[in-house]
A and B are shown apart, each in its own frame.
Chain A
Amino acid sequence: MTATIDSPRSGKISPQYRRTGGTKGNFEMLAWLFMRLSGVVLVVLIFGHLFVNLLVGEGIHAIDFGFVAGKWADPFWQIWDLTMLWLAMLHGTNGVRTIINDYAEKDSTRLWLKIVLYAATTVIIVLGTLVIFTFNPCPVVDGVPLPGGFCPA
């Protein structure tokens, strides 16, 4: 029950209360809206993804390299996974950005956390997109298919 609080700040107004004029633009509004909309779409995408991968047919036992290769041969699943990747990454990144804004107390901490966050997001989105579109189920090196590949007979 007993809540502990920090020693109170001294009587003078802390500089953080000095307002620095309003900000123009609708970024925060659009970010807020994006969170709601992407959230709804992600529920459909993710549960569809889980259903198709884990429940349909042989379910979880069917998942292997060939299964993924087969899915990505179909533009429908390419688009599905691409949308899921982008929306999930941006949704998550915006969520973490919000948490950083809420909890980081120093401007420099906030800046560094955000740099790390945005760098990670960029790498994952670029890498993921690249994989979805350049995925080759049957890699051939010097005329010999690599083992583990999924080549048409």
Chain B
Amino acid sequence: MSAELAEPASKIELPAGVGGGGEIPTFDVTLRVRRYNPELSEDATWDDFKVTMYGTDRVLDALHKVKWEIDGSVSFRRSCAHGVCGSDAMRINGRNRLACKTLLKDLDTTKPITVEPIKGLPVEKDLIVDMEPFFQSFREVMPFLINKGHEPTKERLQSAEDRERFDDTTKCILCAACTSSCPVFWTDGQYFGPAAIVNAHRFIFDSRDDAGDMRLEILNDKEGVWRCRTTFNCSEACPRGIQVTQAIAEVKQAILSRKI
């Protein structure tokens, strides 16, 4: 292809200050990041970073700016940057949220914005925690379809109402915002935690699944659903808006009605 075919530059003259990012207001924010590096020190400290951000920016953008332009050693997880992969749950101003779904303008920018790792899981570095205990209890509820019938030749059909029954809990992205906001989990790491129960709920109430009883038996454990104190922290923390506490209550009810 010849260079002539490239789109010509725009002929429209724009007055200075109009168009581009110039229209979006900018402001200064201070990001107060919890730093921890076990290779340097056993203690965690707070680091302040002052950055100029736009009104459309999210906390994740501010973290990027810090990492790319100020201090490359700041460590955090992120992948999709659009709220679907669940890698960047962190404690922002004391509440669990996804950094990629939290707009800076929605926070109080007159004060430093605190960013910490989620609580209750071992911190590896800065904002990165070890998710293994979280996934361990997720695996224990068998989060996959178990069907005892014959393998069908086409897809397993289900009525719209049957699908609706567990629709809410299909939305989970395993970000751990709920489990790490739960005060019971903070002191008892053995507790299954909201996320595992949400993902068990997704299969327990699926009409195509045959292992509901097994999952209910697993969650009838000392560290299962009865550990829930209905604090509602999980429902508040969930970035997907899942009614987590309600899902837990439904599992409690299902266990009760099967036992009694």
Chain A interface (Cβ < 8 Å from any Cβ of B): 1-3, 5, 7-14, 16-17, 19-20, 22-23, 26-29, 31-33, 98, 101-103, 105
How many residue pairs at the A-B interface have CB separations less than 8 Å?
A: 91
Contact of B226 among A13, A28, A103 (CB under 8 A): A28
State whether A13 and B220 are in contact (beta carbons under 8 Å apart), knowing that A1-B114, A31-B226, A33-B256 are contacts in the complex: no
- Which of A17, A29, A31 sits near B189, CB closer than 8 Å? A17
The answer to whether B190 touches A3, judged by C-beta atoms less than 8 angstroms apart, is: no
Interface pair A10/B183, CB less than 8 Å apart:
no
Q: Which of A2, A14, A20, A26 contacts B220 (CB 8 A)?
A: A26
Q: Is B122 an interface residue (CB 8 A)?
A: yes
B7 contacts A by Cβ under 8 Å: no
Q: Using Cβ atoms and an 8 Å threshold, which residues of chain A touch B119?
A: 5
- Min CB distance A20 to B, Å, is 8
Which residues of A sit under 8 angstroms from B77, Cβ to Cβ? none
A2 vs B32: C-alpha distance when bound (angstroms): 10
Instruction: Give the CA-CA distance A139 to B117 in the complex, in Å.
Output: 68
The reply to whether A11 and B130 form a contact with Cβ atoms under 8 Å apart is yes
Docked complex: B86-116 residues within 8 A CB-CB of A: 91, 93-94, 108, 111-112, 114, 116
A-B contact pairs, 13 of them (CB 8 A): A2-B32, A7-B36, A23-B222, A26-B259, A27-B222, A29-B226, A29-B256, A29-B259, A31-B226, A32-B252, A101-B188, A102-B184, A102-B187
